[in-house]
Chain A
Amino acid sequence: MSTLASTQAPLKAKISRDDWLQRAAILVIAVYLIITLALPLYVMLSKSLQNHAGEFIGFGNYSDYFTTPALVYSIQNSLFIAVLSTLISVSIAFLFAYALTRSCMPFKALFKTIIMVPILVPSLLPGLALIYLFGRQGMIPELLFGAEIYGPIGIVIAEVFFTLPHAVLILITALSIADARLYEAAIALRASKTRIFFTVTLPGVRYGLISAAFVVFTLVITDFGAPKVIGGDFNVLATDIYKQVIGQQNFEMGAVVSVVLLIPALLAFIVDRLVQRRQVALLTARAVALEPRPSKRFDRLMLAYCCLISLFILGMIGVCQYAALIKFWPYNLSFSLDHYQFDLMDGGGWDSYTNSIKMALYTAVFGTIIVFSGAYLTEKSRGFRTGRMLFQFLAMLPMAVPGLVLGLAYIFFFNAPNNPLNVIYHGMVILVISTITHFYTVSHLTALTALKQMDAEFEAVSASLKQPFYRTFMRVTVPVCLPAILDISIYLFVNAMTTVSVVIFLYGPDTTLASVAVLNMDDAGDIAPAAAMGMMIFYTAASVKILHYLMTRGIERKTQVWRRR
């Protein structure tokens, strides 16, 4: 009988109205991702195989690229900067996270807040601060002992500043899932503190360390802001793309460099995903949380260390704010608001700022709706496995695509005269779409995590009660996931405010943005106004974060009756 059964075609479930609706919705969002991600990338890849006239020339551009020493040199530079920044950033972050999770020092919440500050500014800002600190007319150039801040030193310092919060976040998570029972066992076996650190602590966070290293590596190698502002003549892949496209209008070569940059980013992404999968297995339900014990000397040492790192971060921000308020550094140190008269400078004036706010709001609202609905459909719908897997792949892809590369791909795709979608080019729509796509993956993962924590049988129960899926979605799923939905919208808002790389090729005369204005004013030599605009972004993002904190607290208070802790 069983052989008979296996030769028959398996029964197919009848597809209900709900199933049809869900599949249609998955398709709509998948098509959205195909248009805003897969097709542009495809067009960009094919552009890299064409000459200026649009004829197919195989790998001709690539052989040109690899025979131009000035360009190939950037690969080495990029890798050097990325590896060095990763080593420094992860080391600093590890000790910082260690202090936050394993010591009994005071002000932990404050330090945790301070370390997150760099997330709220464009990656251009640390570069500006470094110019004021160590530039030719800087405040303390002597500290560099004659070395030049423009170049690798400046880039690495700026990248460490920019990546610290990401590394600290990952490592805090890794360090806080430690199982106290392992430490008790080690102490019972009379292991020394050093031995415990190397045999229990480090192995426990190894996946966190690897993950943090790859995240930082990817951020640095794809970052465009820091090398643009403080890189001087030191070329990296990201600035090469910008120079090829904006400087030389050589789009094909820009596409080639983009492909070259895509490779390390893609590799780092794959390794990180593999590692993350392992990390989950380390969590056991019966683990006992580790409570740090007070130790006067250790706690003081950690406190001093965290103060030092916080000083670095607040110092960089403070220098920018100071520079923005000084009349004319270093000759006239009186305070004025002159540098805030953005309308008198290049970069789009105050309109850039309002445009940025609008763009960030649209991104937050539409992005959250698209991302959360997409994650819900992949996680909770029935059947249609191929469609859901395709969608899942598309949702993970943006993480591996550097912003500049995506922006360039958008030029190729949306600016093509024969593409009916080219009406959105240079408009607000393309800015919002590109930003949503660029930050899709992290938002998608946040939504998935929240959805996975919900009982897997809610959908089965509501189907048995003959309720349409969208009713349960609105009445149960959305209210239960509200904190995650807020997280996603804030994440999108803040990133839309600070991003430069994804929108640098896409803004139009009427849609200049604050972050781009920072770049353009710096380019024009108006460093103080650039710093002033950068600080406007910071204050906006910070206020939104505070608002988010208050709203989350409010939700928690209102729903604590039914939310299990």
Chain B
Amino acid sequence: MTAQPAFLKITDLNKQFGPFVALRDINLDVVEGEFLCFLGPSGCGKTTLLRAIAGLDIQTSGRIEQAGRDISVLPPSERDFGIVFQSYALFPNLTVNKNIAYGLENRKMKRAAIRQRVQELLELIGLPEQSSKYPAQLSGGQQQRIALARALATAPGLLLLDEPLSALDAKVREHLRHEIKQLQQRLQVTTIMVTHDQEEALTMADRVVVMNHGVIEQIGTPMEIYRQPRTPFVADFIGAMNFMQGTCVASGQIQLGEVQLSCPEADIAVGSKAIVAIRPEDIRVDEIGQDHSNRIAARINTLEFYGSFFRAELSVSGLDAPLRADLSVNLLRRTGVEPGTRIEVILPADHLHVFAAT
């Protein structure tokens, strides 16, 4: 991916609101045609970054280039993008037709050509019958698609989506996720979406930019940020994760209380503090007593039913915090474990994430 030239290039971007630093040293390359997600908790700066790219709130310093053109200080009207807001911002007094055609008028386009383009877009979003209705007469999901069509009408080089699905209920959201992704792939339009919903980011994006406190924590494919989180924040924010405090006692050996784990790939200096993390689904229950490193004795405190699995809270002697482990329904049926049962669990070395403690 990095081999391709960047379509949108952000260099050393900072944004301050008075003394508050909203964005710090943002560097980011977006490849043409890719679907990028800004993911982070509220207040992490993801919307601020999107608004800087749109020119709605200019950054304090830094450079933004789009298609080789420096757009750092240009007003929105001189940039090349379409945008869909959380509220959709559809003009309530104009019909669907006129909303979509809004950006096409006033640019010497023939009326017939406009009509044809609007029809084309309506078919693209799958709402060819709704053209003469007003936004208030449509469902939330339909309004969302009209807003998308309006943003795409002028065939912009960049599509910006600011939490476009968060106002919808779960079922519609899931459906639209899929549709937007398909539409984006068909049109090959470079797209940046802001979201706080990790599931949305993981399912839709080609690459995810995880942000926290105004800095980029990690950029990577959904798979990368899930499997190889580079910071404890990313590890914690995406999916579920157990964290344990320890010390590196020998190369690839980390002592956690009375437990010693081997993590051959850990890049930690001997003697320094480390954080070891593992996802609940990566903890295995040892049923046959096989000889395995990182085998520890635990006791099941509680079991919570999650539908397709049980989440167990395990207390491990020598560890200060309990561990969460996901146990399959089958395993429970087979072994009959219940709260109070003592079991042996394995923390596979290749699933351990080790971070230097700060």
CA of A498 to CA of B319, assembled, Å = 82
Say yes or no: is B76 at the interface (Cβ < 8 Å to chain A).
Answer: yes
Interface segment, B89-97, B246-254, B280-288, B322-330? B89-97
Q: List residues 498-540 of chain A with CB under 8 A from any CB of chain B.
A: none
Are the C-beta atoms of A11 and B73 separated by less than 8 Å? yes
B56 partner residues in chain A, CB cutoff 8 A: 460
Say yes or no: is A563 at the interface (Cβ < 8 Å to chain B).
Answer: yes
Choose among A6, A455, A466 the residue that contacts B77 (Cβ–Cβ < 8 A): A466
Chain A residue at smallest Cβ distance from B83:
A464
Most-contacted residue by chain A among B55, B79, B92, B150 (CB, 10 A): B92
Choose among B16, B62, B76, B92 the residue that contacts A464 (Cβ–Cβ < 8 A): B76
A8 partner residues in chain B, CB cutoff 8 A: 61
Chain A residue at smallest Cβ distance from B75:
A16
Choose among B25, B55, B75 the residue that contacts A2 (Cβ–Cβ < 8 A): B25
Are the C-beta atoms of A476 and B93 separated by less than 8 Å? yes
Shortest CB–CB separation between residue B158 and chain A, in angstroms? 10
Are the C-beta atoms of B93 and A562 separated by less than 8 Å? yes
Say yes or no: is A19 at the interface (Cβ < 8 Å to chain B).
Answer: yes
Q: List residues 367-382 of chain A with CB under 8 A from any CB of chain B.
A: 382
Most-contacted residue by chain A among B58, B91, B107 (CB, 10 A): B91
CA of A466 to CA of B58, assembled, Å = 18
B72 partner residues in chain A, CB cutoff 8 A: 11
Are the C-beta atoms of A12 and B75 separated by less than 8 Å? no
Chain B residue at smallest Cβ distance from A7:
B61
B106 partner residues in chain A, CB cutoff 8 A: 466-468, 471
Shortest CB–CB separation between residue B86 and chain A, in angstroms? 9
Beyond A16-B75, A465-B102, whether A480 also contacts B92 by CB under 8 A is: yes
B154 partner residues in chain A, CB cutoff 8 A: 465-466
Dominant SS at the B interface? loop
Beyond A458-B91, A460-B56, A467-B106, whether A16 also contacts B73 by CB under 8 A is: no
Are the C-beta atoms of B102 and A11 separated by less than 8 Å? no
B56-69 CB mask vs A (1 if < 8 Å, else 0) is 10111110000000
CA of A14 to CA of B62, assembled, Å = 15
Shortest CB–CB separation between residue B142 and chain A, in angstroms? 14
B39-58 CB mask vs A (1 if < 8 Å, else 0) is 00000000000000011101
Shortest CB–CB separation between residue A383 and chain B, in angstroms? 9
A530-565 CB mask vs B (1 if < 8 Å, else 0) is 000000000000000000000000000001011110
Are the C-beta atoms of A564 and B92 separated by less than 8 Å? yes
Chain A residue at smallest Cβ distance from B158:
A464
CA of A19 to CA of B78, assembled, Å = 12
Say yes or no: is B151 at the interface (Cβ < 8 Å to chain A).
Answer: yes
Are the C-beta atoms of A11 and B82 separated by less than 8 Å? no
Shortest CB–CB separation between residue B193 and chain A, in angstroms? 16
Choose among A457, A464, A476 the residue that contacts B87 (Cβ–Cβ < 8 A): A457
Choose among B58, B76, B107 the residue that contacts A463 (Cβ–Cβ < 8 A): B76
Are the C-beta atoms of A465 and B150 separated by less than 8 Å? yes
Chain A residue at smallest Cβ distance from B78:
A16
Beyond A2-B14, A10-B60, A10-B61, whether A18 also contacts B89 by CB under 8 A is: no
Q: List residues 9-66 of chain A with CB under 8 A from any CB of chain B.
A: 10-19
Chain B residue at smallest Cβ distance from A476:
B91
Most-contacted residue by chain B among A12, A466, A559, A561 (CB, 10 A): A466
Beyond A466-B103, A467-B103, A562-B134, whether A460 also contacts B76 by CB under 8 A is: yes
Most-contacted residue by chain A among B16, B21, B89, B106 (CB, 10 A): B89
Q: List residues 4-48 of chain B with CB under 8 A from any CB of chain A.
A: 12, 14, 16, 21, 24-25
Are the C-beta atoms of A5 and B16 separated by less than 8 Å? yes
CA of A466 to CA of B103, assembled, Å = 7
Are the C-beta atoms of B92 and A562 separated by less than 8 Å? yes
Shortest CB–CB separation between residue A473 and chain B, in angstroms? 12
Number of A residues with CB within 8 Å of any CB on chain B? 38
Are the C-beta atoms of A463 and B12 separated by less than 8 Å? no
Are the C-beta atoms of A563 and B61 separated by less than 8 Å? no
Choose among A6, A471, A475 the residue that contacts B16 (Cβ–Cβ < 8 A): A6
CA of A563 to CA of B81, assembled, Å = 29
A11 partner residues in chain B, CB cutoff 8 A: 58-62, 72-73
Chain A residue at smallest Cβ distance from B71:
A14
B87 partner residues in chain A, CB cutoff 8 A: 455, 457
Are the C-beta atoms of B77 and A457 separated by less than 8 Å? no
Say yes or no: is B135 at the interface (Cβ < 8 Å to chain A).
Answer: yes
Are the C-beta atoms of B91 and A465 separated by less than 8 Å? no
Shortest CB–CB separation between residue A137 and chain B, in angstroms? 60
Chain B residue at smallest Cβ distance from A461:
B89
Are the C-beta atoms of B89 and A458 separated by less than 8 Å? yes
Say yes or no: is A232 at the interface (Cβ < 8 Å to chain B).
Answer: no
Q: List residues 83-116 of chain B with CB under 8 A from any CB of chain A.
A: 83, 85, 87, 89, 91-94, 102-103, 105-107
Shortest CB–CB separation between residue A530 and chain B, in angstroms? 47
CA of A10 to CA of B58, assembled, Å = 9
Say yes or no: is A1 at the interface (Cβ < 8 Å to chain B).
Answer: yes
Most-contacted residue by chain A among B24, B60, B137 (CB, 10 A): B60
B60 partner residues in chain A, CB cutoff 8 A: 5, 10-11
Say yes or no: is B136 at the interface (Cβ < 8 Å to chain A).
Answer: yes
Are the C-beta atoms of A561 and B16 separated by less than 8 Å? no
CA of A463 to CA of B21, assembled, Å = 27
A199 partner residues in chain B, CB cutoff 8 A: none
A18 partner residues in chain B, CB cutoff 8 A: 75, 77
Choose among A13, A17, A461 the residue that contacts B73 (Cβ–Cβ < 8 A): A13
CA of A23 to CA of B54, assembled, Å = 21
Shortest CB–CB separation between residue B108 and chain A, in angstroms? 12
Shortest CB–CB separation between residue B322 and chain A, in angstroms? 36
Shortest CB–CB separation between residue B15 and chain A, in angstroms? 9
Beyond A2-B24, A561-B136, whether A14 also contacts B78 by CB under 8 A is: yes
B89 partner residues in chain A, CB cutoff 8 A: 455, 457-458, 460-461
CA of A480 to CA of B93, assembled, Å = 7
Say yes or no: is A276 at the interface (Cβ < 8 Å to chain B).
Answer: no
Are the C-beta atoms of B103 and A463 separated by less than 8 Å? no
9 A-B residue contacts at CB 8 Å? A10-B61, A16-B75, A457-B89, A458-B91, A466-B77, A466-B154, A476-B93, A561-B137, A562-B93
Task: Pick the 4 closest A-B CB pairs, nearest first.
Answer: A465-B103, A16-B75, A562-B134, A457-B89
Give residues in B with beta carbon < 8 Å to A: 12, 14, 16, 21, 24-25, 54-56, 58-62, 72-79, 81-83, 85, 87, 89, 91-94, 102-103, 105-107, 134-137, 150-151, 153-154, 156
**A6-B16, A457-B89, A464-B83 known, 9 other contacts, Cβ within 8 Å:** A2-B25, A5-B24, A16-B78, A18-B77, A19-B75, A458-B89, A461-B150, A466-B103, A475-B91
